[in-house]
Each structure stands twice: as C-alpha cells, then as structure tokens.
C-alpha cells in the first residue's frame, strides 16, 4: 500500500527522535527543532509557538503568585486556634510548591524560546550568502536585524520578569519554613510586616510579567504579520 511522502517523512523524523531520547540528552533541543522542521514546522513557526508557550506560562505563573500571596496574607486573619492554623499552614505550603513549579515552567519555556531563536537567526544569516540579488539580500538583512532587535527586547523582558520570581519564592519559602516550626498566634502576628513587604514584591513581579506578556504578544504579531 503506497504511503505519501509526508507520512514517510514524518515517520522517519519520529523514529529518529525516539532514538535520540534513548541516548544522553546532548543536543536534545537541536533534535527537537530538527524534528519539527521535518514535520513541516519551520523555525519561524516554532519560534512563534515557543513564545506563545512562554507567554502562557508567565500568565499562569502570574495568577499563581497572586493566589499564593492571598494564601499567605490569610494566615494573619481569622481564628488563631491550633487546628485553624494547621489548615492554613497546609494551604500556604501547597501555594509555595505550586508557585515554585510555575516558576520552573516559565524558566524552561524561556530557555526554549532562546534555543529556537538562536537556530533561526543562525540559519537566516547563513542563507543571506545564497542570494544572487543584492537588493533582496539587503532587504532580508534589514528584516533580520529588525526581528533580532524585537526579539532581544522580548527576551530581555522575559528574563527580567523571571528574575523577580526568585526573591518572591525565597520569601514564600522562608515564611513556610518559619510557620512549620512556629505555628502559634504570637509567631503569626510577627509575620505581618514581612508579608506586607512580600505584597510589594509580588505587585512588582506581576507588573513585570504583564509587561513581558505584552512584549510577547507584540513579537508574535510582528512575526505573523
């Protein structure tokens, strides 16, 4: 029974990919990009997809950090009975763990964006020498420079926002560890000042993430336009 060239190509690509994941992870990202191209997704399309995933990861992380802050702030309100405090502690412990997980996802997505962008720009630069038309080469070079400048602005915003996650996570972790061994009304009351400072840090983080998300949307529009 005759198979289409596309089907055979996709099968060969997936076979190669499956073989690659059984070996050490060296070159894993490059393999993933290569497989994507074999399946018909050019590097430009892969970059758009990577940016979209990084944007979505930041959006989810933003919501999680805001939710976690609410959980931490709630620890100082309401009944101070042992049973109630224990329940609140379990909630903030869970909130911290979810926040750390979301932060890790954001970092991973940004790394993916950087890897695909590096591959795209390298290919773009190499193909400039293949033009026979000087005017078309110049136009392509200009577009490359504009795209790279837009990308640098995007990845800068993403990394700046990601950089603000670590101090917030550290503060959340400190609060969680402190409460783990000091689950009483006096200890809870002593946290109020620290929590207000954390509130300010989370507010700044959310602003940075919103700016990064806006940059991502602008970059996606520029590549799809």
Count of CA atoms in the C-beta half-sphere (13 A) of 164: 24
Which pLDDT value is given to residue 81? 58
**Residue 78 — left, alpha, or beta (φ > 0 → left; ψ -120 to 50 → alpha)?**
left
Nearest to 57 by CA among 113, 117, 96, 95: 113
Please tell me the distance from the alpha carbon of residue 167 to that of residue 106, in angstroms, as a whole number: 15
**Residue 24 — left, alpha, or beta (φ > 0 → left; ψ -120 to 50 → alpha)?**
beta
Helix, coil or strand: residue 9:
helix
Nearest to 57 by CA among 101, 24, 92, 15: 101
Give the helix/strand (H/E) hosting 2. Answer: none
Which pLDDT value is given to residue 26? 38
What is the torsion angle, in degrees rounded to the nearest 10, for the CA atoms of residue 143, residue 149, residue 152 and residue 154? -80
| pLDDT by 10-residue block (mean), the chain, 225 residues | 37 37 52 81 91 97 95 74 76 94 96 95 95 96 96 96 95 90 79 86 95 96 83
Which pLDDT value is given to residue 82? 61
Other Cβ atoms within 10 Å of 205 Cβ, number: 24
Show the beta-strand stretches assigned E in the chain: none
Stated pTM of the model: 0.80
């Amino acid at each position: 029974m005759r198979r289409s060239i596309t089907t055979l190509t996709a099968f060969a690509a997936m076979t190669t990919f499956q073989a690659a994941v059984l070996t050490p992870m060296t070159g894993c990202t490059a393999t993933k990009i290569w497989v994507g191209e074999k399946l018909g997704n050019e590097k430009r399309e892969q970059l758009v997809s990577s940016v979209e995933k990084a944007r979505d990861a930041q959006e989810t992380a933003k919501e999680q950090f805001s939710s976690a802050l609410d959980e931490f702030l709630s620890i100082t309100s309401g009944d101070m009975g042992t049973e109630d405090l224990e329940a609140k502690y379990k909630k903030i412990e869970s909130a911290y763990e979810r926040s750390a997980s979301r932060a890790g996802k954001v970092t991973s997505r940004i790394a993916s964006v950087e890897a695909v962008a590096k591959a795209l720009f390298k290919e773009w630069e190499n193909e400039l020498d293949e033009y026979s038309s000087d005017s078309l080469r110049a136009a392509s070079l200009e577009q490359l420079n504009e795209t790279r400048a837009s990308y640098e602005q995007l990845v800068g915003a993403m990394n700046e926002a990601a950089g603000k996650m670590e101090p917030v996570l550290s503060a959340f972790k400190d609060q969680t560890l402190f409460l783990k061994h000091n689950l009483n009304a006096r200890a809870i009351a002593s946290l109020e000042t620290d929590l207000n400072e954390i509130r300010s840090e989370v507010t700044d983080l959310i602003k940075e993430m919103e700016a990064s998300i806006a940059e991502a949307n602008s970059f996606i529009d520029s590549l799809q336009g």
